[in-house]
Amino acid sequence: MAIAQGGSAASQLPAVDQYDVNKYIISPLFMGGDYMNYMDIMPNIKGQTKIDHFGKLDKSTLDFNDGEFASSASTPFSAVTISPKRMEMEHEFRANSLFGRIKGQLMRANTDFDNIDGSVVKKALLEIIGNAAKADFNRQLWLNSTHTANAGSDHLAPGVHYGSYDGIFALCGKTLDAAQQLIATDIANVTSGSALNQATGSTNSALNILDGLYAAATPELRESQMVFFVSGDIADSYAAYLAGTGYAAAGFGALVSGAPMTYKGVPVVVRRDWDKYIVADSSDGDGGSDGSVINGAGHASTSKSNTHRAVLTAQNAFIVGTDFSETQVEQWYSLDAKAYRFRVSYMVGAALADKSLAVVYTPAALRTS
């Protein structure tokens, strides 16, 4: 753990220690959020780590045997490797800009401005930094991919904002069998490059996507505590279908009471940030025009319309690793730039425990290399 502060104005910045970093930045990244509750978080990954997965024992009970021990079943066993990558966020604020942001945080917290101590200012400061780090973390954990460009086709190199490590969609592409990777042509009433429909009957696009994922789920997955993760446009299309049911059952809970949506009893977690980043970043950020940097979004001419994607998985099927003790925060005032500068670094890696525990849908096929 490294804490660095410098510059003649550094004494005006609250002191930060390991506890503060973990409480306000790292813990919200890995322990907070609606979707992290469904992940298996490993907080003490020091480097490349092999993780064992034991399946369910089966067919090991037979007639009573008077003789010697005779096991009739093998232990279902698999192992995956998680390779964490050190990530780093850097940002700077001009003094007046930083003051305005901290003031806004304090006003929202109804702080007594006649009695502000250093801990209050530190909390506001670290929450600003933590929120910025969390936005990048959420984007990269799902959409990152280390695939390379295939010139003239539908994928470009992901670049610095998406290529650091394989996120969850890329892991699905590299891990799952072909039958567990669905694309637009596998789903009725869904077309790559076109928006999802808002039909209120069985032709509803989102209904067909959810049903296709459920139908492709392995027996092992269906026996687990499942969860859907879907883009915002899938959620909106599905909401239109639920409205068409006359506000019955799940439709009433989701649209009237604000309860989470479900499909066949499985919770549906909505990730609207996917839509935002696919629209903003799907065409090549490095100046090309022949594909998408986001894995599974398809050709550049259609990728901005291909925001719809989803994953059906099980609780703790995806493993996310970090090392709380190796997080770093540095802060200092730069006299040259006349700005407060901040640097946050942490380790992160992800893996799928077993390939039977997920099904994925993307409009175009996921690149694996």
User: Would you say residue 285 lies in a domain?
Assistant: yes
Q: Give mean pLDDT, residues 326-349.
A: 83
| pLDDT tops 70 at residue 290 | no
Q: Containing domain of residue 294, as a range? A: 176-317+354-361
**Model pLDDT for residues 132-174, shown as the tens digit of each residue:** 888 888 899 999 988 877 655 556 677 778 888 999 999 999 9
Q: Please state the domain count of the chain.
A: 2
Report how far residue 251's alpha carbon sits from residue 254's, in angstroms, rounded to the nearest whole number. 5
| pLDDT tops 50 at residue 279 | yes
User: Would you say residue 90 lies in a domain?
Assistant: yes
In this structure, the answer to whether residues 198 and 244 fall within a common structural domain is: yes
User: Would you say residue 212 lies in a domain?
Assistant: yes
User: Would you say residue 29 lies in a domain?
Assistant: yes
**Model pLDDT for residues 183-218, shown as the tens digit of each residue:** 999 999 999 888 999 998 999 999 999 999 999 999
In this structure, the answer to whether residues 188 and 288 fall within a common structural domain is: yes
In this structure, the answer to whether residues 52 and 87 fall within a common structural domain is: yes
In this structure, the answer to whether residues 187 and 294 fall within a common structural domain is: yes
User: Would you say residue 149 lies in a domain?
Assistant: no
User: Would you say residue 333 lies in a domain?
Assistant: yes
In this structure, the answer to whether residues 192 and 100 fall within a common structural domain is: no
In this structure, the answer to whether residues 302 and 343 fall within a common structural domain is: no
pTM of the model: 0.83
Structure tokens, 72: 């009739």
In this structure, the answer to whether residues 212 and 243 fall within a common structural domain is: yes
User: Would you say residue 64 lies in a domain?
Assistant: no
In this structure, the answer to whether residues 130 and 191 fall within a common structural domain is: no
In this structure, the answer to whether residues 262 and 346 fall within a common structural domain is: no
Q: How far apart are the two ends of the chain, measured CA to CA in Å?
A: 35
Report how far residue 45's alpha carbon sits from residue 81's, in angstroms, rounded to the nearest whole number. 11
- Closest to 193 in 3D by CA, of 305, 91, 93: 305
In this structure, the answer to whether residues 311 and 346 fall within a common structural domain is: no
> What Å distances lie between residue 90 and 87, 329, 343, CA to CA?
10, 10, 4
Concatenating the DSSP letter of every residue in 54-66 gives E----S---S--S
Query: 74-77: long-range contacts at Cβ-Cβ below 8 A with a sequence spacing of 24 or more?
Result: 77/52, 77/53
In this structure, the answer to whether residues 133 and 203 fall within a common structural domain is: no
Q: Give mean pLDDT, residues 88-98.
A: 78
3-class SS letters over 149-205: CECCCCECCCCCCCCCCCCHHHHHHHHCCHHHEECHHHCCCCCCCCCCCCCCCCCCH
In this structure, the answer to whether residues 19 and 95 fall within a common structural domain is: yes
- Asked if 161 and 281 touch (Cβ cutoff 8 Å), the reply is yes
